[in-house]
Each structure stands twice: as C-alpha cells, then as structure tokens.
Structure 1
Amino acid sequence: MEIVILLVLRMVLKFLIKSRFKMYTFLFLFIAVSLGQFDWAENGIPARQGVHIEWQRTGAAGSNGEMIFCWSDTRSGGRDIYANKIDKDGNSLWDDKGVVVASAEGRQEDPLLVSDGSGGAYLIWVDYRDEPDAGDIYGQHIQPDGSLSWGLSGLALSNVPGQQVSPNLCVDGNGGAFSIWVDKSASSTGQIFATHLSQNGPLHPGTGLAVVTNDAEHTTISLERSGVGGAAMIWTDNRDVNNLDIYSKRLFLNSSSEIETSWGDEGGLPICTSEGEQSFPKITYFTDDKNIFVWEDHREGIEGNIYSQIISLDGSFTYEENGSKICDNSSSQIKPRVKASPLGAVVVWEDDRNGQSDIYAQKLLEDGSIQWGTEGVEVSTYDGSQGQPRLTVDSSGGAYVVWMDSRNAEYPEIEIYAEYLDASGNNIGGQNILICDAEYYQFNPLVKFDGENGAFVVWGDQRSGSIGIYSQHIDSSGNTSFIDDGYEFYFGLDGNAFNPKTLALGSEESLLYWEDQRFGNFSTKTFGSSITPSFSNEDLNGSRLSDNLDQVNAKAELIGDNIFLGFDNELGEVSQYYQVLDKSLNLIGTQEGTAVFESGTSQKDAILVASNDGFLYYIFADLRSFIDYDIYVQKYNEEGSPQWSEPILVVDNFLADDKPVAA
C-alpha cells in the first residue's frame, strides 16, 4: 500500500511542477497583454489599498453646539488632511467621510485645529511637498460650510530650506489665530518662529518671524490665547545645562498689525528656574488679563509635584517666584493639564498615591486660592491604570475630563471613560461615565465643551483592528447622547498586507490572495480578489477567504469548479486547515475552516497538489511521533470531503529530511 501511495505522490508532485509552470507563464502573459489592452496604470493599480489614519486628537467647538475635528489619512495613496463637523445628534455636517482640507505632493500630517469663532476653523500641519526629508509648516482656513479659503494646497507659513518642527496653534480671541514652530535652519538648537493667521492668510508667509532666539533647545511648547488679540507660550529650556527650566513669551499685534513680543528678552521670561528638572509645561487663557501655567516639578527629588503660576499681561506674577505647589500629597504627581474660564482654572494630572496611575484634579481661582482641598479631588481611582487625561471647562465652573482606562484589562483592552466635576469638585458620574468599552484598543480621547450643557468626546478606535474615528456626546448629568460605544465618523482599512500569491481560474481570470492584518496584529486572515482585465480601483481590498482567526502561509489550488485553500492555523500548536470556496469567493462549508487532521501536534510545510484525476492531495509534515516530523497525505474531492479516513503516512524515515518539497 505504501509503495502505491509513494508512486501516486511522485506522480502528483511532477504534475504540480508542470501545472504551476504553465499557470504562472499564463498569468505573466495575461498581465503583460492586459496592460497593453486595458486602461491600467503604467505601474499597476492597487488591489489592496490601506487607509492608515493618524488621529492627533485635535478639534474645537464650532458654533451652535457643534464640533470640528481633523486628522490625516492615506485614502488617496499619499497622506492628506481631512476634517469634519458634527452636531449633538451625531450628524456629519460636511461630508460623511470628512472633507479634504489639504492635499499636495508628499505627506501632509500632524494637523492642529482651532476655531475661528464663526463656525469655521484654522489648521496647520507639517508638510513634506517641498522638502521630503525635512518638512515645512503649512496652514489652511475652513469656512463654516467646509469650503476652503486658501485652496486645496493651503499656504506656506514657513518653507525656508531646513527643518521646521513642533508646530502649535491657538486662537487670538479676536477671530484670528497665532501659530508657532521651531525652525532648525536658524541655529543648531532651533529658534521659535511665529505668524498670525486671519481669513486673508498668514503674516510673513513662507518665513514667519523669529520670536525666541536664545541659544538653547525649546521643547514641549504650549501655546494659548492671552488677552484679546494676543497669545502666550511656555516651554522647557535647557540653557542651564544642569536642569531643565520653564520660560515664557507673549505675542500680540501692534497698531500696524505686526507681531510684537513681551515678557523677557530674546530668550523669554523665566517662569521656574528652581533646582531639579521642570517639565510638561502647559498654559491656558484664564481671563482677559491673566494666563495660568502648570508644570511637573522635581525640585523636591525624584517624585514629581504639580506647580502653578498665574501671570498678568504686564508680566507680573500672582504667586512668588518659581510658582506654588497645588497638591500636598507626598506621592508622585505628573503630566498636568489645565483649562480655565473666569470662574476658575481646573488642573488634572496622573497620580500614584494609590499604588497605580489614577486621575486627580484641583481648582484655582484668579487670585491663586486653592478650591478643592490641599491634595485635590479624585477623578478616577479604579483598579488598573488611568492615564492621559484631557479636559474642558464649561460655563458654570465645572469640567469634563476624559482618559484612557485599563480597569477591565491591560492593553489591548483599553477603554475610554469620562467624568464631570461640578464647580465644587463633586464627582457627578459616581462610577465614571463609560464612553466606550468596545473590544480591543481605544486611544487618544479629546473632549470639547459644546457651548451649552454638554461636551463632545472624540477618540481613535481599533475595535476591528484597523483605526476608526469615533465620537460620543455627554451631558453634565453623565448621560450619553449617541449609541453605545459612539458613532463611527471615519474608518480606515489599516494593517499590513503581505505574501501575495496568484492562482489561475481560467477565462482571463485569476485569484490574487494574500495575508492581511486589517484586523490588527491580533489576527491574520487570508483575503483575495478576482483579477480580470476590467479590474479597477472600485474592486479594492478583496474579501476574506476564511474566517479562521489565525491563518498564515495560505496556498490555493483549483479543483473542479471550486477553490481549495489550505493554511497553517497558528492557534496553539500549528495545525493544517482548509477552506473551500466557489469562484465567486463565497465560502463553502464551515466558515472557520476544517482541520486536515487533529493530531494535537505540530503540522507544517504543506503542499497542495491538484491532480488530473479530479482530486486534491494535501501533503504536510506532522510531529505526531514526537521524535521527528513525518510526511502525511490526505485526498479530497471538489467539495472538500476527505477520501481517506485519516491522512496516510508516506515518509517516516528517522534519518530522512522529512519536509515535503515540490521537485
């Protein structure tokens, strides 16, 4: 019996070699002829085009209870900038997939957006059209209806030779905006440049104006409105080589509508130069006469503390020099964020007083007095880690806070939670407000006050593996307005696609199939497309050829009118599975595939042979002897039914190289 099987195996292997040579020769000729006869691009057309989204959590309140947000993605091949406006009912007011607001050669990425105060928005981004290896700063103004003021290419804020990095953007409180960036072409450490944006365009287009020129590195720059028609920034500065310190500078327009600066000399005004490092500085508008700064401070040692300073337009301080600590707890407090209104400034931070990362908050009044106790109030102290808080204040002295939460499980099961704190620091949500606990990874939440009695939350979401942009609306009572887990406003097919292969199906048709991680690194599946001379971009991205979650090394053969797909199932010990499909790529039988043989041991190195007797032979190596791999074969008909009760052993020589090889 074994001799007969070996002869059959040798025969079908020879047939495999011949048939595959003919198949690939035909496919090459088919493609070569098709390129000449049909309207395909000179360099080919995509069969699987990923749309990778970069969500930088940037957005702003529009008007009438609306929100505008933007992102970059690769839906057109290159990376461009898109934006959308939504209302409190979850409607897209511009386009269901967003409107393109910047598109040009090279990459456009890392957008930042602020409101223009009239229902539109200003945005800036890093642009690589002019210098692919360096990057410049470009900008755009969007009208309330989503149309563009400065054309699809936008306008250059700075495209001088050399690298421009770390852009930032804020409103000026007067219908315009200020933008800053670090220009690496100006010095080895970089200088801070600025411009002002109005609906007519930027001041000093293409160059900007140097506003901080001292010889030091300026990092983690935060920029916010200062008074009416001005802006102020704060940054980490290494001019003291032994410590990182905090400096600031104010920008405003003079009577000739030119940018002027105040607060210190060319290197800015020192905010904190205490011993130890100061980092993570943030600034926000407080009143028309004041701004507030917060930062992480290590003057007392390795444990971080949160310090604050309030500054008037004339540069005078509310607290003593080097600021005042706003939380007296002896544990570590890090990474503060601050937002304010004339009713008070709310600060949130990450805190490890409970042996894990939790969220706490504090409130300060304009005179510098602390409102929520000497140690702040709890925002969230549940099990697991709570991190990356963001906040927005409302018109009644309260604040909405959102964060990433691992109370249910560690990465990739990260959820989005929120809380509303009233003017007295009371935790309204009780057990926190669940924004999204869909499967897998939710990240980078952004929250913005809706101007009335609630807030929008927008985040990136990998519930399907690929990235989508989702939103939820909440009110001060902790109620959500949209469906559970939020509305999806744009989805991009993400992940790697690799190991493409082909199978001739006849009649100028071939199957192109590949391994696809569009569901994230958590799962690899085999996808495929039917390729004909009329294939176009409308046929992109294929369909799944099996629902098995852990399939790799797929191989396909045509048997009768059906396609036989074999693959490694990587769940536990690698085992051999197969799926049968018709030529329209409809799955036949079990959707997750069927095991060739459940030996409970490792199986690998499969070869599929479609013979001229109308059957398929599935040949593979199996470790079921627990000593070395032996070679087995199973026979299938066109419907995928096995013809033998179990695979037959064909090679078990201990000294042989027990790996099937088509030769």
Structure 2
Amino acid sequence: MKKIYLGLILFLIQQTSSAQFSNDTLANYIVRDSLMTEQVTPLSATTSTGQTYISWFDSYNSNYQMRMQLLDASGNKLWPDTGLVVSSFPQNSAIFRYDLKVDNEDNAIVAFQDERSGSLNVVAYKIDAGANFLWGSSGIQLNDSAAQGLAPTIGITQSNNVVIAWSADLGSSKWISFQKISSTGSILWSKRIFDSTNNIKYSRAVMQPSGIDNIIMMYVEEIGNFPGVSSTLYAQIFDSNGDQVWPNPVQVSSKTIPYFVFPQIISDSNNGFFTAFNTSNPLNPSLNDVYAQHVQVNGSLWSSTGTQVANSGTEHKSTGGFCYNILNNEFYINIQVLDGGQGSSGVSIQGIDAAGSVIFGANGIQLKNIDPIYYNPHALVDAGDGLISIFSYGSFGAQKLSAVKTDYFGSPLWSFEPTISNYNSNKDDLSAGLFKNNQTVIVWADDRLDAGVYLQNLHGDGTFGLITSIGEIKSTKDLVIFPNPSHAPVIKINSKIKEQVNLSISTPDGKKCFSASYSLQSGSNEISVDQNELSSGIYLITIHSSKRVMYVKWIKQ
C-alpha cells in the first residue's frame, strides 16, 4: 500500500455573498425578455474568471439594437438590467450571423453588420467589464470598396490583436475580406481571398490563433451556382503582416459540405485546429454524414478525407457541438442521429484519438435513442472530469433542454438526467460557456413570452443555481474516506494502474478551495489530509484522472 502524508496548503478563494443563478428550471434565468419586443440571436462568451458576456439584437422603435450583458460567476448582472446598448445605428430588417469573443484581457469583442453607411457593412466593438467602449462609442467600421459585408467572425491572436473576417460580395464576385485591428483600435492591414476570374467564390471564414501573432483560418471555396454549388473546405496560416505562411492553401477534406452550413473550428493548443463538419455518406450520398479533421500547424492532416465519425449507412447524421481535451489529446463530437425519414432523432458521442482513429466504436456511444420526441444536440462541454452533452427534445412549441454527462470512456457519470429548461417553448441559438467555477452557463433564445434570451447554469454534479448543501454521496469500492466526520481524514483510493490523479476540495456552492496532483501506484493508496485552515462544514472531494472521476462528501469537524 502506498501512503501519501502531505500537509495540504490551502488556497482559500473569496466567495460571493449572494448569487442570482436560479435552480428553478421552469422559470430559468431571464437575461432579457420584454413583452411586445423581440430579443433574438444571442451569443455568449466566457472570461478567464468565469464571467459571461451575452449579446443579442433587441427590437426597439422599429429597429434592431445590438445589446449586451455581463454576468459575474454567480449570475449577478453587472450592466443595466435591460442590457448595455452597444449600437443603435440603422439595422436591416433581417438579422445575419455575427460573432462574439473574449480577448486575452477579458474584454468583449463583438462584430456584426449594420446599415449606418447606407448598405450592410461590418462593424466591430471592444468593451471592457466596466462597460467602457475601448474602440470608441461608434466602434470601428470595416469596409472593402463598395462591397456588401456579411457574417463577420473574430480571431484573437496571442498578442491580443484582433482579426475580423467576413464574406464580401459585389455583382458576381464573392470573396473573403479580413482586416487586422491592434489592441488599441488601429487598423493595421486589409487582405482578401479573391479570384479575379470570378470562377471561384470564397466565404465562411473562421479563425484561431497560431503562433505569437499569426492566425490559422478555415474557409470555404465555392464553385458553381446555387443550387449546384460545390463547397470545399480549405485552410491557411496568415502571419502578423497578413501574408500566407504555407505556399498553398491546404484542402481540409476532399469531401464537400452543404451550401448552407457554417463549419466551426477549435484550437488544438498547438497552433492548429480541429473541426467536425456535415457532408454526404460514402455508401449512400443521399444521407447526411459527419467527418472530423485535424489540421496541424505544418498543414498535415489525419487523412485526405478526415475521419468518418460514425459509419452507419442507414441513418442521417449531423454535428451537435464538439470539444478537445488537451490532457487526453482526444477530440470529442456530439452527433445528431436521425432515421431515414428524419422524423425521429437521437444523440450519440464519438471520441477520436491523436492518430485520427475513433475510440467509442464504429458508431460511437448512444446517449439518447432515436425517437419521435426528437432529441437534438446543441453543445458538448469538457468539464475537466468528463463530457456534458446538452440537447433539446420535444415537438414544435413544446421543447425542453436536458443534459447527460459521461467520463472520457463514454460511461455515464450521473445517475439522473437534469432538465435544464422544463418550460414548453421553442429553443434556439443555444451556446454553452467554458467550464469555469465548476459550472457551464447555457444561453438560448426562447419564445415563451414572445422572443427573449434565457440562461441556466449547470454544475459538474448536475445541479443548478447556488449550491447550498452537498447531498449524500456514497463512497465506492475505489474511493473511501475515513473517519467521516473528522478533522483530518484519510482518503483510500484503489487503482488498477499507475496513474496521475488530481484531488480537489470544493465548498457547497462550488468554489474550489484546494487542488493538487498525486501519483498513484497500482493497488491501494492512501492520502492523509490535514485541513487546519478550513472551517468546519461540508465539502466535496473530487478525484479525477484522464479517464475517470470519483466524488466523496467530507464533513469536517
């Protein structure tokens, strides 16, 4: 038996005295829902400290205003209850795609389009936590000749400069414009991805940082005319001056994607990116399918097509969110799986290892059966000790939100299925924030009143709101704490292999008090805990490695 006798040096985190997140999943938390007006197309972004920026378009005096809200980690609104008016310039009657990101100093960067110049053009704002407009009260207008600009996306470099890319078109030409803005708001350069022959069109750019001040971009090359457009994914790295790093763009996959799909990417934490995209099934082109790809900083790929996430030839599949765990070096995908008629839908997940091989079997692991209740995945969150799949279900006008959590093997971690929103209404435009302070904040558009923005926080144990107590968590054969209650207990951990684990201690409201790593041997291990700095009360002790998580409640005397 290996015994570990270590005095634990505690880092006590100051706790907020009040919290505004609700555990009432019928009412949920109202970001903004004003009767007789619309609040639509919300986006959210999480800061390094777990605060949440939320943006939306708010109908006001026959116009749409861009408004935002900032919540602290407990759900307190830090800006006006009706939202901070970012822009009241003339807006089109149609709302188009836009983007919201957090920079390296926890400022919000929001880019959208309005008609202040008489036609649709891209504008960008930078706002700090104090609601100060760091790029001026009117933001920065981004133009490319007389072209119309739509669907801007944001890239933040490691040097905290910002690159905004958008789809521009004029006449029969269609191209990608992108401009670099310094952290102080100066436009540094303007570039294009453009075909002067007009035979090839470009659109749908997304970006991640790559190197100190470079960005890596994925975009779509379009050939042909609607509805017969062939859309192919390409990638390129642009240096600090906007020049191409690779001699030629890299084709992300030989597979094509639908004309109306906007694929996303996430960083691989090594200057490349991962993506999962909708395409056609190789056995039956009439079926939708999902492939995944890793584009490394040197331009290398898993394969020319990417990895087929699930190889069934009888079902439609589409992406429902994805995440990357750097410790496991594995990429995980939420999959919507539908019957051939697309009248029934379920949820599966798949993991892909560093070599591009699936790890949850040929068709992944089914979380929710294909059912007429129509389970539809929206987000997959890496909670640090497992994966949280967030999905809607129900008929039109009577949808609810729920979640399932698994470990990194795909095995369930919760014995129940928490209902995130129990109100029967339409749910749309859902985003789930990064897992910070033992929670993810889930934001969506909801029509329960007319059209509003709602949210719900979800803790790692499946609870909501402010945790006031820790329920009875029974010891398992692999994790035992004794004596309990006690002042200085011993934690016994059984391990089948040599492994590295993390031990964390949290208060009932989810605030982490202590975290440390330990090396376990195969067999029985004991950790002696000395908690002199902690006051008496109830605490949650979590043990997790790269492949499992265990909990135990400790009553400190």
Q: Same fold (TM over 0.5)?
A: yes
The residue aligned with 1:114 is 101
Specify whether residues 182 and 101 from structure 1 end up closer, same or farther in structure 2 by C-alpha distance, changes over 3 A only.
Answer: same
For residues 605-616 of structure 1, what are the structure 2 equivalents within 5 Å? none
The residue aligned with 1:307 is 291
SS for the counterpart of 2:264 is: strand
- Residue 453 of structure 1 aligns to which amino acid in structure 2? N
The residue aligned with 2:553 is none
Specify whether residues 482 and 264 from structure 1 end up closer, same or farther in structure 2 by C-alpha distance, changes over 3 A only.
Answer: farther
Aligned counterparts of 1:212 and 1:427: Cα–Cα separation in 2 = 48
The residue aligned with 2:254 is 273
2:464 to 474, 480, 486: 480
1:337 is displaced (CA, Å) by: 3.3
For the pair 1:385 / 2:379, whether they are aligned, the reply is no
1:353 is displaced (CA, Å) by: 5.2
- Confirm or deny: 8 A CA contact 1:65 1:451 kept in the other structure: yes
Specify whether residues 472 and 176 from structure 1 end up closer, same or farther in structure 2 by C-alpha distance, changes over 3 A only.
Answer: farther
Q: Alignment identity in percent?
A: 17
- Confirm or deny: 8 A CA contact 1:306 1:336 kept in the other structure: no
- Confirm or deny: 8 A CA contact 1:391 1:448 kept in the other structure: no
The residue aligned with 1:224 is 208
Specify whether residues 433 and 189 from structure 1 end up closer, same or farther in structure 2 by C-alpha distance, changes over 3 A only.
Answer: farther
Specify whether residues 276 and 391 from structure 1 end up closer, same or farther in structure 2 by C-alpha distance, changes over 3 A only.
Answer: closer
- Confirm or deny: 8 A CA contact 2:346 2:375 kept in the other structure: yes
1:348 is displaced (CA, Å) by: 1.4
The residue aligned with 1:81 is 66
For the pair 1:352 / 2:335, whether they are aligned, the reply is no
1:281 is displaced (CA, Å) by: 3.4
1:87 is displaced (CA, Å) by: 2.4
- Residue 352 of structure 2 aligns to which amino acid in structure 1? L
Aligned counterparts of 2:403 and 2:36: Cα–Cα separation in 1 = 32
For the pair 1:333 / 2:317, whether they are aligned, the reply is yes
Aligned counterparts of 2:109 and 2:43: Cα–Cα separation in 1 = 11
For the pair 1:250 / 2:244, whether they are aligned, the reply is no
For the pair 1:203 / 2:187, whether they are aligned, the reply is yes
- Confirm or deny: 8 A CA contact 1:461 1:470 kept in the other structure: yes
What RMSD over aligned residues (CA atoms) do the two structures have, in Å? 3.0
The C-alpha deviation readout for 1:530-553, integer Å capped at 9, x for no partner, is: xxxxxxxxxxxxxxxxxxxxxxxx
Aligned counterparts of 1:269 and 1:447: Cα–Cα separation in 2 = 30
Aligned counterparts of 2:212 and 2:229: Cα–Cα separation in 1 = 34
SS for the counterpart of 1:224 is: strand
1:89 is displaced (CA, Å) by: 2.1
1:114 is displaced (CA, Å) by: 0.2
Specify whether residues 171 and 429 from structure 1 end up closer, same or farther in structure 2 by C-alpha distance, changes over 3 A only.
Answer: farther
- Confirm or deny: 8 A CA contact 1:456 1:474 kept in the other structure: yes
Specify whether residues 314 and 415 from structure 1 end up closer, same or farther in structure 2 by C-alpha distance, changes over 3 A only.
Answer: same
Q: Which protein is bigger by CA-based radius of gyration?
A: 1
Specify whether residues 76 and 204 from structure 1 end up closer, same or farther in structure 2 by C-alpha distance, changes over 3 A only.
Answer: farther
The residue aligned with 2:413 is 428
TM-score (norm 1): 0.58
- Residue 470 of structure 1 aligns to which amino acid in structure 2? Y
For the pair 1:237 / 2:206, whether they are aligned, the reply is no
- Confirm or deny: 8 A CA contact 1:416 1:435 kept in the other structure: yes
- Consecutive unaligned residues of structure 1, counting only runs of 5 or more, are 1-47, 484-663
- Residue 327 of structure 1 aligns to which amino acid in structure 2? A
Specify whether residues 272 and 119 from structure 1 end up closer, same or farther in structure 2 by C-alpha distance, changes over 3 A only.
Answer: closer
- Confirm or deny: 8 A CA contact 2:235 2:251 kept in the other structure: no
Aligned counterparts of 1:86 and 1:287: Cα–Cα separation in 2 = 27
The residue aligned with 2:150 is 165
- Confirm or deny: 8 A CA contact 1:402 1:445 kept in the other structure: no
Report 1 or 2 for greater relative contact order, CA contacts < 8 Å, sequence distance ≥ 6. 2
- Residue 213 of structure 2 aligns to which amino acid in structure 1? G
- Confirm or deny: 8 A CA contact 1:195 1:202 kept in the other structure: no
For residues 579-658 of structure 1, what are the structure 2 equivalents within 5 Å? none
- Residue 325 of structure 1 aligns to which amino acid in structure 2? Q
For residues 53-92 of structure 1, what are the structure 2 equivalents within 5 Å? 53-55=39-41, 57-75=42-60, 77-92=62-77
Aligned counterparts of 1:414 and 1:358: Cα–Cα separation in 2 = 14
Aligned counterparts of 1:276 and 1:458: Cα–Cα separation in 2 = 27
- Residue 266 of structure 2 aligns to which amino acid in structure 1? T
1:364 is displaced (CA, Å) by: 1.9
Aligned counterparts of 2:416 and 2:372: Cα–Cα separation in 1 = 12
For the pair 1:371 / 2:359, whether they are aligned, the reply is yes
1:184 is displaced (CA, Å) by: 0.4
The C-alpha deviation readout for 1:230-265, integer Å capped at 9, x for no partner, is: 3333344333787724222334333xxx22224464
The C-alpha deviation readout for 1:171-213, integer Å capped at 9, x for no partner, is: 334433322111103x6241111122333125357xx321344
Specify whether residues 275 and 198 from structure 1 end up closer, same or farther in structure 2 by C-alpha distance, changes over 3 A only.
Answer: closer
The residue aligned with 1:316 is 300
Aligned counterparts of 1:375 and 1:54: Cα–Cα separation in 2 = 36
1:103 is displaced (CA, Å) by: 2.7
- Confirm or deny: 8 A CA contact 2:320 2:380 kept in the other structure: no
The structure carrying a bigger helix percent of its residues is 1
- Residue 187 of structure 2 aligns to which amino acid in structure 1? L
The aligned length equals: 419
2:452 to 468, 473, 488: 468
SS for the counterpart of 1:458 is: strand
1:463 is displaced (CA, Å) by: 1.6
TM-score (norm 2): 0.68
- Residue 244 of structure 1 aligns to which amino acid in structure 2? S
The C-alpha deviation readout for 1:406-444, integer Å capped at 9, x for no partner, is: 1xxx11111122233332223334553211121432322
1:137 is displaced (CA, Å) by: 0.2
The residue aligned with 2:554 is none
2:267 to 285, 302, 318: 285
- Consecutive unaligned residues of structure 2, counting only runs of 5 or more, are 1-33, 468-557
The C-alpha deviation readout for 1:495-515, integer Å capped at 9, x for no partner, is: xxxxxxxxxxxxxxxxxxxxx
SS for the counterpart of 1:260 is: coil
